[in-house]
Amino acid sequence: MALFATVTRKPGMEPRYRDAETIRKTILNIINAKAEKDWSSKRILQEIIHDASWALVEYERSPEFIWPIRITANLVRREGKWLIKQMHWSFPGEGYPIVRLIKHENR
């Protein structure tokens, strides 16, 4: 069995929702920590560019985040009842999604 759904995170939905300014400050702290890592200068710059562009671009798109998830399960029938034998779920990243669905007003 496979289920496909979406998860939505937007202002007012949960106490932990972080606004754009909070995220930008958090990303600055992360960037400062990465600048001190013992990585190659190229990797550090790539990480900084990625994090900074994410923080600047994503909230400009929308403060509402919608991302796809998938749940798969194997079911077995025992004594006339269907039971979940194994289940797996996945989504495209940790924290705010790397991949998300964007509502276009002109569609």
User: What tens digit of pLDDT does each residue of 12-38 get?
Assistant: 777 777 778 888 898 999 999 999 999
Report if residue 99 sits inside a domain: no
Condensed to tens digits (0 to 9), the pLDDT of residues 37-46 reads: 999 999 999 9
**Domain contains 102:** no
- Does residue 69 belong to any structural domain of this protein? yes
Inside any domain, residue 25: yes
Residues 6+ apart with CB under 8 A from 79: none
Residue 96 lies in a domain: no
Q: Could you tell me the residue range of the domain that residue 56 belongs to?
A: 2-11+19-90
Q: pTM value?
A: 0.56
Q: Provide the domain count of the chain.
A: 1
Is residue 83 included in any domain, yes or no?
yes
Q: Residue 34: inside a domain, yes or no? A: yes
Provide the b/e sequence for 62-98 (b: ≥16 CB within 10 Å). Answer: eeebebeeeeeeeeeeeeeeeeeeeeeeebeeeeebe
Residue 97 lies in a domain: no
**Count of CB atoms situated within 10 Å of the CB of 100:** 20
